[in-house]
Amino acid sequence: MKVIRWDDPDPRVVWGNVNLRWSDPSYLLEEGDLGYVELQPGQPGYVPPQPARPRRRAASSLTSIPEPPNTTTAMSFQIVILPNPQNELRPFRGRPKMGEQVGESEFLDAVVVHAADPAVTRAVVEKVIESLFAVMIGYLRQTRPLAYILGLFRATTTITGSFPTNAPGDDALNAGIGANFNLGPLADAALTDGITTEIVGEEGTITPEIDSIVLSPGGQADKYSLTAAFKVSGDHFRGSG
């Protein structure tokens, strides 16, 4: 799911796209979201798939991360399978099974270990992270999007909301201001490079959709019939009994 605005440059944000939901905030359903409809060529918002391109291997500093102290590194990406009943061709979707949340101290200590440099202390890590976000927010406050930084991430400003007039005040506008933080190609490649997946559970059920129930004969289920007391039809089955 992606939060959008009317002038969003995304080619999928066009009038008539059945996956758009105009509300407060407005959003675009994406593959795997409940209610998503797979578009076909010619439909508003259809974007043809991009040709496969060679995948740039991530830097070894991202794929070879030392095990943080006193932690257990996950051996696989754990996935929970969920129903996606709105999509007949793809009636299931996956979501990550979240593990224990990483706290601030654990994260900062792991960065120090990964740097493997005596000059990189915890105080240095804290200062760099604070400066990184201070500079990034400074540019975003000027509505200047960040290009991919070292191939690792980029950031753009966003705003959502609807207003009773065409001259809303600062408070109304500020309530909808935010930013999107996206992984760059190197970080994205490192996330899945050599990773294995493990399905650890299933939640929800897929139930048959019933189109019609016909009673016979004469609409009376308690009357003897040479055929059936009732007939049921639907997309998932055909039968009577």
Shared domain for 106 and 167, answered yes or no, is: yes
Are the C-beta atoms of residues 198 and 77 closer than 8 Å to each other?
yes
Interior CA angle at 188 toward 185 and 193, to 5°?
A: 115
Q: Are residues 126 and 200 in the same domain?
A: yes
Overall number of domains in the chain: 3
What is 8-77 written as a DSSP string?
Answer: ---TT--TT-TTEE-SSSEEE--TTSTT-----TTSTT--PPPPP-PPPPPPHHHHSPPPPTT----SSE
Judgement on whether residues 96 and 183 belong to the same structural domain of the protein:
yes
Do both 100 and 212 map to the same domain?
Answer: no
Indicate which CATH number applies to the domain containing 154: 4.10.520.10
Q: Same structural domain for residues 6 and 66?
A: no
How many Cβ atoms from other residues are within 10 Å of residue 155's Cβ? 19
Cα separation, 5 vs 27, whole angstroms: 8
Range in 61-70, 81-90, 138-147, 166-175 the model is least confident about: 61-70
Question: In Å, how far are 77, 124, 152 from 96, measured between CA atoms?
Answer: 7, 32, 22
pLDDT of 212 reads: 67
In which region does residue 35 sit, left (phi positive, over 0), alpha (psi from -120 to 50) or beta (all else)?
left
Q: Are 44 and 151 found together in one domain?
A: no
Domain of 40 in residue numbering reads as: 1-53
49 and 151 co-located in one domain:
no
Percent of the chain whose predicted confidence (pLDDT) is above 90: 41
- pLDDT, tens digit, 9 for 90 and up, residues 4-62: 876 778 888 888 889 888 877 788 888 877 888 888 888 888 888 766 555 555 555 66
